[in-house]
Structure 1
Amino acid sequence: MADEAIRTGFVEIQGRMIETTAKLKQVQNQMRNKEGDKKRAYLTLEELRQLSNDTNTYKSIEPKSVLMDEQEKRLKDSEAAIASLQTSKEYLEKQLTEVENNLRELLQQDPSLARQIMSMSV
């Protein structure tokens, strides 16, 4: 009965580890996307700052000020999203560490389970 409980625990921990790792990768991808958005907004703003204030821009022939406001909003939104995603990333990394520790403890409790897992991996 104890063997079955340990195996069930292992399967549960393994599932949590897979789920947490997938979530972490998703957050990291979202952060990369937001970093790209932030960089594009920053570079667009830098180019717009070089133009005179009465210059109409390409995007629907809008005044420079309208386009600059849009880019500044995108920049701030990207920064806020990145900060939020960073918090999520840190939380998921802590969860992953906890799951890894749980798995390590479980394998130390039952060396035969560790041997079985190693034989399946090879």
Structure 2
Amino acid sequence: MADEATRTAFVEIQARMIETTGNLKQVQVQMRNKEGDKKRAYLTLEELRQLSDDTNTYKSIEREFVLEPKSALMEEQEQKLKDSETAIASLQTSKEYLEKQMAEVENNLRELLQQDPTLTRQIMSMSV
């Protein structure tokens, strides 16, 4: 058996890896959602641009449709587009940070396993 300090360090590194992986997956899901929001806003904006200015346009609110001027709908979609781009940029920064943390945790794990070959053998025997 590996000494207690090494086992404790391994458990801590493993917990950090699990937490970081979960956070990274969460950020990736949020980015995909924001990309979808951005695409919807862009496509809606493109369709609105094709309409003449005197066309009646309606905004969907729950189960109702409310008459809105085309310009108001376009402004709303442009704002959604900008908000999505801002959120995506922020999430990209978070993703890069989490990827660096993941690399650091992996390096720590590699170093720990190189320092204690008995721990490596124990882990390998558990996975077989």
Give the TM interval when normalised to the shorter protein: over 0.9
1:28 equivalenced with 2:28 (yes/no): yes
Q: Distance in 2 between matches of 1:101 and 1:108?
A: 10
Q: What corresponds to 2:62 in structure 1? A: none
Q: Secondary structure at the match of 2:51?
A: coil
TM-superposed CA distance for 1:63, in Å, is 0.8
Relative to the length of structure 2, the TM-score reads 0.93
TM-superposed CA distance for 1:38, in Å, is 0.1
Q: Distance in 1 between matches of 2:43 and 2:92?
A: 23
Alignment of 1:1-122 (within 5 A): 3-59=3-59, 60-122=66-128
Structure 1 unaligned runs (5+)?
none
Q: Structure 1 vs Structure 2: percent identity of aligned residues?
A: 85
Q: Distance in 1 between matches of 2:22 and 2:45?
A: 35
TM-superposed CA distance for 1:68, in Å, is 0.3
Deviations 1:35-94 (A, max 9, x none): 000000000000000001122212111010000000000000000000000000000000
Deviations 1:6-42 (A, max 9, x none): 1100000000000000000000000000000000000
Aligned length: 121
Superposed structure 1 runs of 4+ greater than 3 Å apart: none
Q: Distance in 1 between matches of 2:13 and 2:36?
A: 35
Name whichever structure is richer in helix by fraction. Answer: 1
Q: Distance in 1 between matches of 2:32 and 2:108?
A: 30
